[in-house]
Amino acid sequence: MRDLRELLENNRAWSERIKQQDPGFFQALAQQQTPRYLWIGCSDSRVPATQLVGLRPGELFVHRNVANVVVHTDFNCLSVLQFAVDLLKVKHVIVCGHDGCGGVQAAMRNLKLGLTDNWLRHVQDVMHGHEGLLAEISDEAHRLNRLCELNVIEQVLNVSRTTIVQNAWSRGQEVTVHGWIYGIGDGLLRDLNICITNQSELSTAYEDAVRT
């Protein structure tokens, strides 16, 4: 099959539906985007960022990768962050992981998947950093979900430590970094109680989130 007719038909129906509800919707969006939020999440097809927070096109700036990792040498993620913070002036950066994450599981089990293994080394670094905490959890599914949470907490720290967020804070720009987990089984988001608005909150917020 060379064509993806079903998807294109779905798209036409979707566009029609929106135009019926709001005739000027696409024209207004074509002028500009003013999202208030940046979402950094996993590529997992079960975690559709914009849909699950009930937002419409134009309201959520999105970066997704395997296991929602923020690395200081990843110019893809950093460019998205810089564009969102410096140009779009988003007020919130949300790092959202999800339970049962295949990437985190592969890291935890040290599976050999190919190129991705190198990417997932960053998640293994998180795992090694919290070995003691994780060793106390005997059930593997629970241990995996705790590592998914710890991974989010670490990535919130990484976002907060980027030059982009650090510079925004030092010039007085309001940017808050949040850590959330999405439940694949119930469709609900859970706040991991890590919410960082400035440099001075960084280490206490991190330590509190890891402890809870």
Binding site for Co ion (CB under 5 A): 42, 44, 101, 103
Among the listed residues 77, 96, 98, 148, the single catalytic one is 98
2 is catalytic: no
CB of residue 95 to Co ion, shortest distance in Å: 12
Unique residue bearing structure tokens 């940046």: 38
C-alpha 187/C-alpha 47 separation (Å) is 9
The distance of Cα 94 from the centroid of its chain, to the nearest Å, equals: 6
Residue 197's identity, in one-letter code, is T
Closer to Co ion by CB, 103 or 179: give it: 103
User: Which two tokens mark 74?
Assistant: 């990843």
46 is catalytic: yes
Handedness of CA 109, 110, 116, 120 (dihedral sign): positive
Closest to Co ion by CB, 182 vs 206, is 182
96 is catalytic: no
Question: Is residue 36 annotated as a catalytic residue, yes or no?
Answer: no
At 110, list the tokens. 């040290």
Q: Considering beta carbons, is residue 35 or 103 the nearer one to Co ion?
A: 103
116 or 198: whose CB is closer to Co ion?
116
Counting Cα atoms < 13 Å in the Cβ hemisphere of 190 gives 17
**Cβ pair 164, 150 in contact under 8 A:** no
**Closest distance of CB 111 from Co ion, Å:** 14
Catalytic residue among 46, 109, 121, 142: 46
Q: Which residue of the set 101, 122, 148, 178 is catalytic?
A: 101
148 is catalytic: no
- Rounded to a whole number of angstroms, the minimum distance from the CB of residue 169 to Co ion is 29
Residue 4 CA, distance from chain mean position: 29
Minimal distance, residue 43 CB to Co ion, in Å: 7
